[in-house]
Amino acid sequence: MNQMTKPEKVAAMNEAKISAEKVQVFYGDTHAIKDVSIRIEEKTVTAFIGPSGCGKSTFLRCINRMNDTIDVCRVEGNILIDGEDIYDPKVDPVQLRAKVGMVFQKPNPFPKSIFDNIAYGPRIHGLARNKAALEEIVASSLQKAGLWNEVKDRLDEPGTGLSGGQQQRLCIARAIAVSPEVILMDEPCSALDPIATAKVEELIDELRENYTIVIVTHSMQQAARVSQRTAFFHLGNLVEEGATNDIFTNPRDKRTQDYITGRFG
Partner 1 sequence: MSLPLIVLVILALAAAGFVLGRGRAMASAGGDIRLLHSLPGYYGWNVALAAMIPAFLALVLWLAIQPVVINGQVSSMISQASIDQSSLDLVMSDVRRVAEGLDTAVAAGALTSEQAGSIRTEFTDVRDRLGQVGVALGSDVTSETLHAAQRYRELSGLGDLGRAIVVLGLAVLGAAWAWQRSNKDFRARNSVERVVRWILIAAASIAVLTTVGIALSLIFNTVEFFRLYPAADFFFGLTWSPSFGGGSELGIVPLIWATLYISLIALAVSVPVGLFAAIYLSEYATPAVRAVAKPLLEVLAGIPTIVYGLFALLTVGPLLVDVFGNGGLLGVNWMAGGTAVMTAGLVMGIMLIPFVSSLSDDIINAVPQAMRDGSLGLGATHSETVKQVILPAALPGIVGAILLAASRAIGETMIVVLGAGAAAKLSLNPFEAMTTVTAKIVSQLTGDADFASPEALVAFSLGMTLFVVTLGLNIFALYIVRKYREQYE
- Using CB under 8 A, list all residues that contact partner 1: 64, 66, 69, 71, 94-99, 101-102, 104, 106, 108-112, 120-121, 124-125, 158, 160, 171, 174-175, 178
Nearest-approach distance from CB 102 to partner 1, in angstroms = 4
Whole-angstrom distance, CA of residue 56 vs CA of residue 206 = 24
Q: Which is nearer to partner 1, 191 or 198 (CB)?
A: 191
CA angle at residue 64 from 224 to 253, to 5 degrees? 35
Nearest-approach distance from CB 233 to partner 1, in angstroms = 21
Nearest CA-CA partner of 141 in 203, 215, 201, 97? 203
- Cβ atoms 109, 119 nearer than 8 A: no
Contacts of 204 (CB under 8 A, 6+ apart): 45, 185, 188, 213, 215, 226
Nearest-approach distance from CB 105 to partner 1, in angstroms = 9
Q: Which is nearer to partner 1, 127 or 243 (CB)?
A: 127
Strand partners, 48: 216, 231
Nearest-approach distance from CB 65 to partner 1, in angstroms = 10
| Torsion sign, CA atoms 102, 104, 109, 114 | positive
Nearest-approach distance from CB 208 to partner 1, in angstroms = 20
Whole-angstrom distance, CA of residue 102 vs CA of residue 93 = 13
Q: Which is nearer to partner 1, 18 or 247 (CB)?
A: 18
Helices 114-125 + 131-144 axis angle, to 10: 120
Nearest-approach distance from CB 160 to partner 1, in angstroms = 6
